[in-house]
Structure 1
């Protein structure tokens, strides 16, 4: 797959249509705002971000990228959804966030231009939206420096995740817009682990993310049956 073809036009259109609502914390993106402190703290505990060069792949409106910059990292956010990137840029100006920039480019294309550039790469809630997630994982490996850290998050593919992440979140609780996720595109931890091993990563840590719809409370634990995250490293040698 070429560096410019690993995207789904329907997925880009879906998120572009909602771009103006990225920073509305009561909008369709409320879950991202709610889980962002959990993701940020988890990453920052594994590798303190202050002073590091960080790439956020599939940054959307910049929720995580902006937060990492506020931790003192020098952050580049990349995406192919132009409207979302404009929203991210506008928010950075309005919030006076220093140390963050955004670019419309794919991970594969950037990997060809700037291999081994970043101390940390994050790719969160993005792999389940592209035709070839393994190619994105491989590009992340190319982009990070030897000894660097790469973080992934996505959704498991099983009966429980279908019930909770799609039926529950999109059709019953209306936490997410209907059609946000396609069951066939969800990724089992074993599959993501295989993509990581094939790229050359060492898998360091996994974490699951849970949600209580009654309290609207999210938390991290070891249960990866629905939402989960991987922390990986690129060997130094």
Structure 2
């Protein structure tokens, strides 16, 4: 089922990721950073929410890198996205890897929230908010999808000169970790803005972590430095 009519989506962003869809599961492709950071964010989510036996929805799942790994931790995962080609790649990978407990749908967060409100124990929305026209609409839909007491995890990019230097000039032009044009600086979101939007959606902000990268060792790690990449954990009262 497709749900793109009146969706909170930028067609240019969908096209951008659809063109790269066949490379999602190549760890040496443009998606190499996602493969490298996935164990970090997976462990961070699992430590707080306890994925085993939980019902999880992954918003903007792309090719399914996080969705697949959460299912392998024992969660029952629904990955959603509006990039149909990426979803087909995710479905094919799940079949080839024989991953159970994961399914994928082409539907927006807003449409799913109207269809299945309050049905998920855990929600993840990683590296997605900076690609939609109205992040607050997505956050509000995320809040509606989760059960009372449920966990929500977001990750995005801070908006400041350092993040422009590191995430765009450094990652896209100098180190070529990402394709040029992956990110638009104006769409980056300050931690205070994301926390405020979450509170306005009725969520309690629980914790925040930064993610750092050393280009010489090619190693990522979580820290207290939220000046570039960061993750935010919330709970629904």
The counterpart of 1:38, out of the listed 37, 40, 49, is 40
| Equivalent runs, 1:16-165 vs 2, <5 Å | 16-165=18-167
**Offset, 1:47:** 1.2
**What is the distance in 1 between the residues matched to 2:7 and 2:57?**
20
State the TM-score, normalizing by the size of structure 2: 0.98
Task: Check the 8 A contact 2:123/2:152 in 1, yes or no.
Answer: yes
**Offset, 1:5:** 2.5
State the TM-score, normalizing by the size of structure 1: 0.98
Task: Check the 8 A contact 1:120/1:149 in 2, yes or no.
Answer: yes
The counterpart of 1:203, out of the listed 202, 205, 214, is 205
**What is the distance in 1 between the residues matched to 2:188 and 2:108?**
20
**What is the distance in 2 between the residues matched to 1:211 and 1:24?**
20
RMSD of aligned residue pairs (Cα, Å):
0.9
Deviations 1:2-34 (A, max 9, x none): 973210000000000000000000000000000
Gap runs ≥5 in structure 2: none
**What is the distance in 1 between the residues matched to 2:66 and 2:80?**
12
The counterpart of 1:5, out of the listed 2, 7, 16, is 7
**Offset, 1:147:** 0.5
- The number of aligned residues is 234
**What is the distance in 1 between the residues matched to 2:7 and 2:22?**
26
- The 4+ residue runs of structure 1 with deviation greater than 3 A are none
Gap runs ≥5 in structure 1: none
Residue aligning to 1:191: 193
